[in-house]
Structure formats: structure tokens, C-alpha cells
Amino acid sequence: MDIKWLEDFLSVARTGNFSQSASERNVTQSAFSRRIKSLEQWVGVALIDRSSYPTRLTPAGEKFREAAREASSSLSTVRQELRNGTHANRKLLRIAVQHSLASQFLVQWLANLPLGNDDILVRATADNLHDCVRDLEEGNVDLLIRYAHADLPLQLDTKQYPSLIIAEETLVPCSKPDSHRNPLYAVRPETQAPVSWLTYSGEAFLGRATALAIGRAAPALVLHPIFESALTEALRAGAIHGLGVAWLPARTVGEDLMRSKLVRAGPAEFDEPLQICVHAGDKLALSDRLGPVWDAIQRTALPPLN
């Protein structure tokens, strides 16, 4: 039995709506339904009355709800106590961060925070956005650091998980240069020949942001996907080795551009502006243990977007 199943069950017991709970839990509705079904199979009886709308609990589900609530709360509390006990004399700051922000940006950002004053141990986990959000909601981390875009909102309760903008970023089309430092793969609307394109996987946040940049081109860019990955570093390596054009974060490729390992593959109109945001866990801002960290982050944050 997975503790996530209990949290899924408690969510649908509260909302009475599978679709709403699936969105709340950041999973597809089909995956959410499978997890509820798995819980029912583990318990051995139906917990949800699916014949009514809004969805209701069966009598067995009503009886199970209180036990699920107590079990979920107890497990989370004990887990936190055990984790804190591992470093009893130190404060542990747990961070979930999107892959491409983990190597360069994270350490540079942390260097500007007064963490050394409180003997804080930082534990960072790099993952895809979906799993980072899940870890935040399940209390596995204290902070989530991610890319953000006004047209790509995240279904996350900002009252429960307050957020701050901590940096600006830009996706830039990049290509390996030729012998004259011109892009091997240039993106221009007037070019009709297909351009080899290194693309993010469909579920990747940066892929959706890239699609916004490409969608503004008129006439449309003619791009031919030849390589796909959710990892920015994989696309960067492909671009450096001359496989095609890739839209990459400017912070990631800054040194590559300076050393001409990469060059811009298109005009600034094909850039896509992003922000880098940090979300606090639902108890971090009020925590005696880590509240001062959030206070320090607030002092260094950028003004909110209008």
C-alpha cells in the first residue's frame, strides 16, 4: 500500500470530484482513478460510491476516512522526526529543483543566502517538474525551484505554497557555428528548407515554452525534429555536436556562447522570456527551524509580475 493512495482518497473524499482531485494531486485523471482503485483492492471493499454525483463515500469509505487521515498524519510526522533526527544538531533544508536549474543556477543562488549563519545542511533533489511538485505537496521538501511562464500556469495553491520570483531567464535558439561563426542551423521565417530541430519531450515545461516562441513566427518556421529529450543538457550536447538547433536557457549556455561553442540561431523575436520561481512548503514560512530562510529569500526576490 502506497501512502499516496491515502492522500488521493482523502482528497476525493473532500472534493467529491475525481477530476478536481486529480488536478489537485498533479496526476492525470486516469492515473488518479487507478490509484483509488488500487487502494480499494488493498482494503478489499469499495470506498467510493461512483453511482452519484458529486462522488460520495460508501459506508465503508466513511469508516476508512478517519483511519486514513490519522495514518497519513502520523506517518508524515514520524518521517519528519526521523529525518530531523538524522542531523539532530543541524537544520536541514530540502530543495526540489528542475533538472536544468540544479547545476549552475541553484548553487549560485544559494551562495547569496546567509545559510552559513545557521549551520544549515542543504539537500537538493533534481527532478522533472511533475515530481518536484509532488514532493512539495507531500511534504518531502521545503522549497521547490522551477521555471515559470505567465502563459503556462501551474496548478498549485499559492496561498498554501507561497511563491517568489528569484531570477529572470530566456530560452534562446542555439546552433553549432560554421567556420565563419554563422549558425549551421539558422531559424528564419523565410527559409523553406526544413531545419533539424532538437526538441524537448512533450511533457517537459521548457518544451511548452519553446512552442510559444515557435508559434509566434510568421510565416511558420519549418522545423524537422530529429532528437527528443526532457533533459536540457542532452539538447545542449546535441547542439554543440552539430545535430541541430535547440532552444536553451541563456544561463545554461552563456559560456558556450561566449566561447563560440554555440551561436544564436535566430533573431531575438524567437527568444522566450521565463522567470525562475521558488515555492515554500506549506509550513516553511511559519517554521521556527526554517522561517528565517524564507525571510532571507523574500529580501532577495524580484518584484512580482503585474
Domains and CATH numbers, the chain: 3-84 (1.10.10.10), 88-166+275-300 (3.40.190.10), 169-274 (3.40.190.10)
Instruction: State how far the Cα of 48 lies from the Cα of 23, in Å rounded to an integer.
Output: 18
All three cell numbers of 112, joined, read 547569496
Q: Which residue has the cell 473532500?
A: 14
Contact 59, 89 (CB under 8 A): no
All three cell numbers of 266, joined, read 535566430
DSSP string, 114-158: --GGGTEEEEEEEE-HHHHHHHHHTTS-SEEEEEE-TTS-----T
In sign, the C-alpha dihedral spanning 264, 267, 268, 274 is negative
Return the SS3 of 101.
helix
All three cell numbers of 219, joined, read 510565416
Cα–Cα–Cα angle for 232, 237, 241, nearest 5°?
Answer: 150
pLDDT string in tens for the chain (306-residue length): 677 888 889 988 888 888 888 887 877 888 888 899 999 999 999 999 877 677 889 999 999 988 888 887 777 767 666 665 555 556 788 999 999 999 889 999 998 887 766 678 899 999 888 889 888 988 889 999 999 999 998 888 888 899 999 999 999 999 999 999 999 999 987 777 899 999 998 778 999 999 999 998 888 899 999 999 989 999 999 999 999 999 999 999 999 999 999 999 999 999 999 999 999 987 765 566 677 888 889 888 887 754
Closest CA to 162 of 73, 8, 278, 248: 278
Phi, psi of 150 (to 5 degrees): -60, -30
All three cell numbers of 210, joined, read 519553446
Residue 189, CB-side half-sphere exposure with 13 Å CA sphere: 11
In sign, the C-alpha dihedral spanning 18, 23, 25, 29 is positive
Q: Is the peptide bond before 183 cis (omega within 30 degrees of 0)?
A: no
CB-based contacts of 72, cutoff 8 Å, min separation 6: 3, 6, 7, 10
SS3 readout for 206-220: HHHHHHHHHHCCCCC
Residue 203: exposed, middle, or buried by beta-carbon count in 10 A (0-12, 13-18, 19+)?
exposed
Contact 178, 265 (CB under 8 A): no
pLDDT of 305 reads 53
pLDDT of 250 reads 96
Instruction: State how far the Cα of 165 lies from the Cα of 214, in Å rounded to an integer.
Output: 25
pLDDT of 225 reads 96
